[in-house]
Amino acid sequence: MTCHSCRIQCKRFGKHRNGLQRYRCNQCHTTFTEEHAQPLDDMRLPLDRAENILRLLLEGMSVRSVERVTGVHRDTILRLLVLAGERCQKLMDERIRGLDVQDVEVDEIWGFVGKKEGHKWAHEKDVAEIGDAYCFVAMERNSKLILAHYLGKRDSRSTDHFIAKLSNATSAQRYQLTSDGFQPYKTAVKMFLPGRVHFAQLVKVYGASREGEQRYSPAEVVDSVPTIVFGNPDRDRICTSHIERQNLSIRMGMRRMTRLTNAFSKKWDNLAAAYSLWFAYYNFVRVHKTLRVTPAMEAGIVSEEWSLHQLILGL
């Protein structure tokens, strides 16, 4: 520590009441305290408690459940979630870029913010951040790495944004891409991935919808039709099973995505942050039971398993 006035080296002078080192100038006798570390920006929450809170959220607990367990107010928990989500999104954008891949599967998972689309009032019809919220997800089939995700509506605009993110995440080396039968994929892939993919769609044929007690269950799939859109995809690799299994992991690990509960997201930003946190945790921290390493290690992005502490700090 250097004195601001005398420009000479200060000597140690005890500790501050919060444990930080104090210094004193021998010439002007001014005292200084070392800078406060702020790993969570302006949040005063200790880092170890923040890690514990995020770990509970990532294991499928709701915000109010975490509040009861940890004693931390729900508003602080949500502020921490948004902060961690923003850091994780930045980390994903920086680390997952221009990767060589072989097999990519894409899909959308349904959720909602505030209320379902059909329950919106007349004055809410044009409010995009209320109602159905679809998260588009792209996963590399072999390494299980989440390459890109985008939260939006199930429309052409959101599809374009999603495929543009996938384009940034992958290199120019040609790979096979498989999606479901959602039509906007065809236009988006032609626009953002021209000549870079062998593209096929797995179109599922559903039976009659079920009523009564089973009305919340999906209709039975009676057939799956592989359809080549362009390029020369391998028919044996036209598959969406891996990305659909990822959808199950999302619903198991994110309480706000569990069906038929009141833990759904009330704000769009909170849901977006929860997705970013989950995907970064899945890629860098959580060991895949089949691979026995993290997807990021399998893809060669990092050389070792990360801790949640490293993920929060963005290392």
pLDDT tens figures, 142-188:
999 999 999 999 999 999 999 999 999 999 999 999 999 999 999 99
- Chain-centroid distance, C-alpha 120: 27
Rounded-to-integer distance, Cα 145 and Cα 282, Å: 8
Nearest to 4, CA basis, from 20, 36, 28, 22: 28
Q: Of all helices (H) and strands (E), which one includes residue 67? A: helix 63-70
Number of Cβ within 10 Å of residue 17's Cβ equals: 6
Rounded-to-integer distance, Cα 182 and Cα 308, Å: 36
Whole-structure pTM value: 0.86
pLDDT of residue 116: 93
Mean pLDDT of the residues in the chain: 91
Which residues, in sequence order, are CB contacts of 121 under 8 Å at separation 6+? none
Residue whose token pair is 């923003």: 86
Give the SS3 label for residue 213. helix
Rounded-to-integer distance, Cα 277 and Cα 82, Å: 9
- Beta bridge partners, 250, equal none
Rounded-to-integer distance, Cα 177 and Cα 162, Å: 14
Which residues, in sequence order, are CB contacts of 190 under 8 Å at separation 6+? 230
* CA separation, residue 182 to residues 108, 197, 204 (Å): 9, 17, 10
3-state helix, strand, coil in the chain (%, to 5): 40, 20, 40
pLDDT of residue 40: 82
Please check whether residue 256 is in contact with residue 249, taking contact to mean a CB–CB distance below 8 angstroms: no
Nearest to 311, CA basis, from 96, 99, 84: 84
pLDDT of residue 151: 97
Q: What is the pLDDT of residues 211-254, one digit of tens each?
A: 655 566 667 777 788 999 999 999 999 999 999 999 999 999 99
